[in-house]
Amino acid sequence: MKHWRRRARRTAIGLAALLGIVAIVDRLDPPPLARATAAGGSVVLAADGSPLRAFADERGIWRYRVGRHQVSPAYLQALIAYEDRWFHHHPGVNPLAIVRALGQALASGRVVSGGSTLTMQVARMLEPIPRTPLGKARQAWRALQIEWRLDKDEILDLYLTLAPFGGTIEGVQAASHAYLGKSADGLSDAEAALLVVLPQAPSRLRPDRHPEAAQRARDKVIARMVSQGLWEPARAEAARIEQVAARRLVAPMRAPLLAERLRRESGEAVIATTIEARIQERIEQRVSALLRRLPERNSVAIMVVEHASMAVQAYVGSADLNDPERAGHVDMVRAPRSPGSTLKPFVYAMALDDGLIHSASLMIDAPQSFDGYQPSNFAERFQGPVSVRQALRMSLNVPAVDLLDRTGPVRFAASLEHAGLKLRMPEGAQPNLSLILGGAATTLEELLGAYAALAREGMAAQPRFLPASPLRERRLMSAESAFIVRTLLERAPADSYATREFDTASRTQLAWKTGTSYGYRDSWAIGVTPSHLVGVWIGRPDGTPQPGQFGAVTALPVLVEVVDGLPAPRRPRLSAPPAGVAQVEICWPLGLAASDTAPEHCHRRLDALTLAGTIPPTLPDRRSEGWSTPLLRYWKDPGSGRRHNQSCPHEPLEAVTVARWPALAYPWLSGPLRARSAIPDLAPGCAPDALGEGLRIAGLNNGAVLRHPPNRNGALRARVQALGSDGRVQWLLNERPHATSVGAEAVELAFAEDGEHRVIAIDSSGRHATISVRVLGTRPESSGALAQAAAVAARPSSAATPAW
């Protein structure tokens, strides 16, 4: 008994010593687990889990950390069954498997099966170990060390992350994205079996190079699953039918600039986004086709947002990432650029909320000076009296500047910035009236966030790129003004812009606005559909002017193509009119409800969308130094029809009230309309008053016919004067600015085309004079008309002057 105890004591001491030695060796030579936690590559995923862009680590290895919960259960089941069915029971080394492998090798003279457990394979993945008997022993030792430190689930996660899959691909997640174009949690049975066997011989079994060998090896895994009773024969047969079809190992490159942006901002190995892969791919294909039509060095930026959630579904930051000639590395979605006229809807919304206008309010598009700032139109033609609807749709500059002047540029800029759209101005500059015409810079991303207010009942919102990102929104306008402005931007068939290539008339649920920056540097088109926001920018990143490239011709066709490629909206229209919006018939020139306007004062009836039950009258005339009220009362002699004033009392006199148009509208009014608000001449003996003073054009008579002298080329020229004003006089020829004079200074008119011409003179107080002349010459009269018609047709906003 004592002998047995002494022997047991010696054995225990020996074991303790052995364990102590093992512990010391283990501490002196621990397994290199640091590689398992080292930063690897990263991948940015679309909403469906497909890769948008993959980034290798500093060694060029494509590896993304993945856990067992992120992998298909079929893959985990097949991996354990095929590689190490006793994985959850052994301490890291399976002696029976090693003995079996040695026996098979001695009997056949070659390696028939491996004896390595999954833990031993992880050990070889963590550090290079030679394939020799001594190396095998070291591999087993490392496996034991790993099992002492990690549990089985953690060891399995290491295998899933580090397993070699050929080339520079490591880990099942990277392999699944690289070969199959999907996440590892969506593997089919056949795909799972393929990825299980691939690490056994990554080079020989690469499915992109050796699909037949890969399929034979895969089928062995499927057979093993059946032999172990894990898969039913029918399930296995369905897996065998599936052909091995791997993609070429080309790094995915969709939405590359967005992927780079999110990788820098996130730092995560796997970044899931809201990008819809099919929409993104379709738009990138359209951009590739577009490049064949664009001038060289032009780039393109497009963003598509689902406005209910503000999830960004497509993001094209440049024309081609790898094209240095087009500055493809510059993300033009985020680049500050002049927005041109794309801010105009917001000033109309502000004016609606301020109670200044309704949708049919009378605006005047005519030469005006706003403390020295004198805007003109893109088409260099003035339209005269227009409604708010027409002014916004035709993107007229003077009405927009007029409204910004009344609402205040500082307040306007602050409102936009509060909603997320920052207007970037030169250092030290203050917001001014040029803002509404593109006199500051913003980004496509911020612009779409502001346009979201038109679709989201007045709430602007920040576009979201990640599913987990919170929705950040702020009110920019009321729900009522959002509805009205969006309705104004939805083109009806009668006034849609259309060309042979595309037609917006059939897309009445598409509200759109274009913009062109000064010098034709930037072309914009922004669209709002019942489900999406779409923004398009085209131009040169270096800001070089490009005459002939503008929003309606360059960017709008692309917008329409993108909208046509989007999924059909679930609802045909966004929403019903809010309770505060009503349609009312109003009258010009007063702008009030027809029911509240005397018939003699209602010169023209229009349907208007009004807000909050208010019907604002026509804005006061800012330029007239004479009369200032839209309803003018004077005294008339019923016998002679002449007007009398306080200087010449007469009996009997009758009081007459007329509705007056704004002074700057008169040059564009038809004869009958002018007659309805005309003021009679003063009776003889009456002292002149402000109502009787007018402007007169001298040098040409109204209705004159001019002929080109024989054998003389070039424009026919004539000299005229404006009499009755001491101030600055603006001259228009066919509604386009032509010259400026002071007082009675003579001006030379140049008639370049045969046909009818209108000459308009307007002084600084709003007084005006208009004459029409006819020019004849040796050229066929139709040639000038055709040339003029062609020039008008070439520009969408150069519509013919309304015949009021």
Instruction: Compute CA 692 distance to the chain's CA centroid, rounded to the nearest angstrom.
Output: 54
486 backbone dihedrals φ, ψ, rounded to 5°? -60, -40
- 3-state SS record for 158-170: HHHHHCECCCCEE
Catalytic: which of 116, 176, 341, 481? 341
Closest CA to 700 of 640, 647, 746: 746
> What distance in Å separates the CA atoms of residue 554 and residue 294, rounded to the nearest whole number?
9
What is the four-CA torsion angle of 484, 485, 486, 490, rounded to 10 degrees? 100
Helix, strand or coil, per DSSP, at residue 348: helix
153 backbone dihedrals φ, ψ, rounded to 5°? -65, -40
83 in catalytic set: yes
> What distance in Å separates the CA atoms of residue 445 and residue 461, rounded to the nearest whole number?
11
260 in catalytic set: no
CB 377 within 8 A of CB 732: no
What is the four-CA torsion angle of 267, 269, 272, 276, rounded to 10 degrees? 100
- H or E stretch at 362: strand 362-365
Name the residue type at position 232.
E
- 3-state SS record for 435-474: HHHCCCEECHHHHHHHHHHHHCCCEEECCECCCCCCCCEE
My answer on whether omega of the bond before 652 falls inside 30° of 0, hence cis, is: yes
Catalytic: which of 83, 170, 446, 473? 83
Relative to beta strand 728-733, strand 643-644 is unpaired
Per the rule left: phi > 0, alpha: psi between -120 and 50, beta: everything else, 181 is left
> What distance in Å separates the CA atoms of residue 102 and residue 116, rounded to the nearest whole number?
11
DSSP 656-694: EEEEPPPGGGGGGS-HHHHHHT--PPBPTTPPP-TTT--
CB 536 within 8 A of CB 525: yes
Residue with structure tokens 């499927």?
222
CB 204 within 8 A of CB 184: no
> What distance in Å separates the CA atoms of residue 298 and residue 151, rounded to the nearest whole number?
57
206 backbone dihedrals φ, ψ, rounded to 5°? -55, 120
Residues tagged active-site: 83, 341
